[in-house]
């Protein structure tokens, strides 16, 4: 049995999403073949209860139009439920015959509540309608005010935000084909999808039906420390990578490979409005934590691939001290790669040869930290697929 599809990490306050009688239709392209699905619904970060009036699952096309029978989904055999504040629930299995590469959708009709969290990834589509259309074969998306807020935020923060996907924490395709998952455990560079989506496409093409790539990345997150409690936008950043190991990785038994792409925020945030100078890490502290993670994953039969840190010397928050630490931790990771399944040297791949502490500008967005589409393609195209054989 393999759990195939994740919609990313859930525990982030992206936007307040007040809901009254709204249907969410999550559309997913399956990386695996299977005979049934189940899914997690999360109200983990909210302060209020959410009433869900109906749930359903169906095969569909890429636009979310049903192509097969719509089947009612349940949680603990109940067709409706009240999702308590802080609660995460797992649905019952729903029979659904899906072949890798086909689309299916999950529908949730929310009668009452405010959804305060959402995944900012785009490997799944989301349609919303202001009524109960959980069992309707065809619906037309109704644009939300929050979509405009997201677009403004993208301009202000100079990075691309995908449409938030609230409520759904993970979707699992159940199968007996010995398929497994690759989890990406990263920050916003991974979350925005420029390299992760292209990498997922390469995995599908070269290991069809063998792996599902699950993006469990959260913007702003650090490996070593949780968000700082005094930071006004702390809810955006979520808990540390160390504190999310169980929830996002060890919680899923079929995970075979873990890609950790963290560290940028550990070394860039301190001394800014996001974190005080007292939270300055050291390269040795970072390396030792990564080795501990690798040892813990090995105990559970999982292999760790570590991405080193892209140079951010052109960033407004960069300092020579921070750049020197990134150079040092990248050196330490290379020298200690025996502790990991592999270390991916994306920094050397993308470095500006004229400015060794900087990444090539043509690979970066306007903030000179996040990769753009070209930078994401360079990173994705050069990942050695032999690691996964």
pLDDT in tens, the chain (389 residues): 333 333 333 333 334 445 568 999 999 998 888 899 999 998 887 778 999 999 999 999 999 999 999 999 999 999 999 999 889 999 999 999 999 889 999 999 999 887 765 665 556 788 999 999 999 999 998 876 666 776 776 676 656 666 677 888 888 888 766 788 999 999 989 988 899 999 999 999 999 888 989 888 888 899 999 887 766 555 567 789 999 999 889 988 889 999 999 999 999 999 998 889 999 999 999 999 999 999 999 999 999 999 999 999 999 999 999 999 999 999 999 999 999 999 999 999 999 999 999 999 999 998 999 999 999 999 999 999 999 98
Q: Is the dihedral of CA 335, 350, 187, 229 positive or negative?
A: positive
3-class SS letters over the chain: CCCCEECCCCCCCCCCEEEEEEEEEEEEECCCCEEEEEEEEECCCCCCCEEEEEEEEEEECCCCCECCCCEECCECCECCEEECCCCEEECCCEEEEECCCCEEEEEEEEEEEEECCCECCCCEEEEEECCCCCCCCCCCCCCCHHHHHHHHHHHHHCCCCCCCECCEEEEEEECCCCCEEEEEEECHHHHCCCCHHHHHHHHHHHCCCCEEEEECCCCCCCCCCCCCCCCCCHHHHCCCCHHHHHHHHHCCCCEEEEEEECCHHHHHCECECCECHHHCCCHHHHHHHHHHHHHHHHHCCCEEEEECCCCECCCCCCCHHHHHHHHHHHHHHHHCHHHCCEEECHHHHHEECCEEEEECHHHECCCCCCECHHHHHHHHHCCCHHHHC
Instruction: Tell the residue number behind the tokens 């636009």, with chain if given.
Output: 63
Give the per-residue pLDDT at 7.
32
Dig out the tokens for 295 from the structure.
Answer: 């040892």
239 neighbors 221 (Cβ within 8 angstroms): yes
Residue 114: its pLDDT value, please?
79
Q: For the chain, what are the domain ranges?
A: 8-168, 179-388
Cβ atoms within 10 Å, residue 255: 25
Torsion of CA 146, 110, 6, 365, to 10 degrees: 0
CA angle 49, 52, 53 (to 5 degrees): 140
382: which residues sit within 8 A by CB, 6+ positions away? Answer: 346, 349
CA separation for the pair 177, 109 (Å, rounded): 32
Asked whether 114 and 1 are in contact (CB, 8 A), the reply is: no
**Residue 31: predicted pLDDT:** 83
| pLDDT at 231 (0 to 100) | 62
Number of Cα atoms under 13 Å in the Cβ half of residue 302: 28
CA-wise closest residue to 188 among 380, 365, 374: 365
Sheet holding 303-307, edge to edge: 211-215, 180-186, 255-261, 303-307, 342-344
Q: Do 326 and 281 touch, CB atoms closer than 8 A?
A: no
pLDDT of residue 70: 97
Q: What distance in Å separates the CA atoms of residue 106 and residue 74, rounded to the nearest whole number?
A: 12
**Within its chain, how far is the Cα of 350 from the centroid?**
23
Instruction: Give the pLDDT confidence score for residue 146 in this predicted structure.
Output: 65
Alpha-carbon torsion, ordered 351, 353, 358, 363, to 10 deg: -50
Give residues with Cβ within 8 angstroms of 76, minimum separation 6: 89, 92
Determine the pLDDT at residue 14. 38
CATH of 179-388, one of 3.50.30.60, 3.40.50.300, 3.40.50.1110, 3.40.50.1370: 3.40.50.1110
The C-alpha atoms of residue 170 and residue 268 are separated, in whole angstroms, by 30
CA diameter of the chain? 62
pLDDT of residue 71: 97
And the tokens for 109?
Answer: 């009709």
């Amino acid at each position: 049995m393999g759990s195939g599809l994740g919609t990313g990490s859930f525990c982030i306050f992206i936007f307040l999403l007040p809901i009254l009688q709204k249907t969410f239709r999550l559309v997913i392209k399956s990386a695996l073949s299977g005979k049934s699905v189940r899914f997690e619904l999360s109200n983990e970060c909210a302060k209020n209860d959410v009433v869900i009036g109906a749930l359903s699952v169906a095969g569909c096309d890429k636009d979310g139009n049903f192509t097969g029978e719509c089947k009612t989904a349940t949680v603990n055999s109940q067709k409706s439920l009240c999702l308590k504040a802080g609660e995460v629930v797992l649905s019952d299995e729903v029979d659904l015959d899906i072949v890798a590469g086909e689309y299916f959708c999950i529908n949730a009709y929310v009668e009452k509540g405010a959804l305060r969290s959402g995944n900012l990834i785009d490997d799944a589509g989301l349609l919303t309608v202001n009524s109960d259309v959980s069992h309707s074969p065809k619906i037309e998306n109704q644009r939300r005010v929050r979509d405009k807020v997201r677009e403004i935020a993208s301009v202000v923060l100079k990075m691309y935000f995908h449409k938030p996907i609230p409520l759904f924490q993970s979707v699992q395709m159940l199968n007996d084909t010995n398929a497994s998952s690759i989890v990406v455990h990263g920050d916003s560079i991974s979350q925005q999808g420029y390299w992760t989506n292209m990498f997922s496409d390469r995995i599908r093409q070269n290991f069809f039906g063998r792996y599902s790539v699950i993006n469990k990345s959260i913007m702003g997150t650090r490996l070593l420390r949780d968000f700082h409690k005094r930071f006004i936008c702390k809810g955006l950043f979520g808990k540390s990578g160390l504190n999310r190991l169980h929830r996002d990785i060890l919680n899923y038994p079929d995970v075979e490979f873990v890609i950790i792409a963290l560290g940028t925020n550990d070394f860039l945030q301190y001394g800014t409005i996001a974190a005080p100078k007292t939270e300055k890490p050291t390269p040795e502290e970072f390396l030792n934590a990564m080795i501990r993670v690798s040892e813990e994953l090995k105990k559970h039969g999982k292999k760790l691939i570590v991405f080193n840190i892209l140079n951010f010397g052109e960033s407004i928050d960069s300092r020579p001290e921070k750049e020197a630490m990134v150079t040092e931790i990248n050196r330490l990771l290379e020298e200690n790669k025996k502790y990991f399944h592999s270390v991916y040297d994306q920094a050397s791949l993308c470095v500006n040869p004229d400015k060794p502490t900087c990444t090539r500008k043509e690979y970066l967005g306007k903030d000179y930290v996040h990769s753009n589409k070209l930078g994401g393609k360079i990173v994705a195209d050069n990942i050695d697929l032999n690691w996964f054989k």
